[in-house]
Amino acid sequence: MAIRNRKNAYFYKTPHGAEVGDLFMSLIHTCELAGANPFEYLTALQQHADLAATQASAWMPWNYRDAMPSRASAAAA
């Protein structure tokens, strides 16, 4: 995976784009190490961006499922 990322990094158009790409690769690899599905994790971060911004430590890949509001309480709100 690291070799593929290095090859793809040749095509970043700006240094900022390279930083963003590296950030996402780091998040995806951390999810894989923690046993979390990267797509589900990134989707949950987008859906609960306000909570993730205020309680960042609760939204790490290894414990984000515990921080997500339950569907029953979300439906009642």
Per-residue pLDDT, 59: 93
Query: For the chain (length 77 residues), average pLDDT per consecutive 10?
Result: 61 82 89 95 94 92 89 50
Q: How far apart are CA 11 and CA 5, in angstroms?
A: 10
Per-residue pLDDT, 72: 44
Q: How far is CA 49 from CA 1, 4, 25, 44, in A?
A: 28, 29, 19, 8
pTM: 0.73
